[in-house]
Amino acid sequence: MKSIEVLIADDHPLLRQGLVKLLDLEEEVVVVGQARNGEETLQKAEELQPDVVLLDINMPGMNGIEVAKILREKHPAIQILVLTIHDDESYVNEMIRIGASGYLLKDAEPSQVVQAIKKVFSGETVFPSHLMERVMEHYYQLEIEYGRMKTAAALNELLTVRETEVLRCIVEGMSNKEIANCLHISEKTVKNHVTNLLRKLDVEDRTQAAVYAVSKGLLPTD
């Protein structure tokens, strides 16, 4: 069986040495090189073509995120496993976007590090569940916002400019008379616009129209 060749990239010598000792205990894993910074990581990756790069984020010069982007572009076959102190979903999200195969915190158990290396080598992904929950919540909120934008865009296509102006006035709590004075149109015309608005928004009264407009983001803020 082919050994899993690993390049360790971290600017802390003690951590690198500890990882080397840990991985030396594994028959399936061999450490083929070490790198102290981003530039050296790219150089060693080019030279050694490891199966897995165990990559820190905080490194002098070029950081781990920049390194991961270049590795993914130039060496797509190399699996990137991040090992970091950053317990932050924004970093996880960025590494997922780049195409990293895994993300571990430096307080992970030694056995977790070994298993993660084996998993990413075999094509699996490894991400902490608590961070993935935050990432998924972020994407969920984006989907909600995107849905609101689509809804607003679709409904705004149904409303005329004048109807949109009347709707804004309704949201501001104006009466028909106040709307007429504000927009310089007759009260009868305002009533017609309100009737059309209620029908297009499929609501029963002005209050529902106002609530619907705000909740769906129909009225762009100035």
Phi first, then psi: what are they for 163, rounded to 5°? Answer: -65, -35
Strand 79-84 vs strand 52-55: parallel, antiparallel, or unpaired?
parallel
Q: Residue 221: what pLDDT?
A: 55
Give the pLDDT score at 18.
94
**Domains of the chain by start residue, with CATH:** 4-127 (3.40.50.2300), 134-215 (3.40.50.2300)
Low-confidence ranges of the chain (pLDDT < 50): 222
Q: For 130-140, write each residue's pLDDT tens digit.
A: 666 655 665 55
Cα gap 76→148, rounded to integer Å: 37
Long-range contacts of 65-68 (CB under 8 A, 24+ apart): 65/91, 65/94, 65/95, 65/98, 66/38, 67/9, 67/38, 67/41, 67/42, 68/95, 68/98, 68/99, 68/100
Find out whether 116 and 81 touch, Cβ atoms under 8 Å.
yes
Query: Are the beta carbons of 182 and 169 closer than 8 angstroms?
Result: yes
Report the pLDDT value the prediction gives residue 15, as an integer from 0 to 100: 92
The number of residues in the chain equals: 222
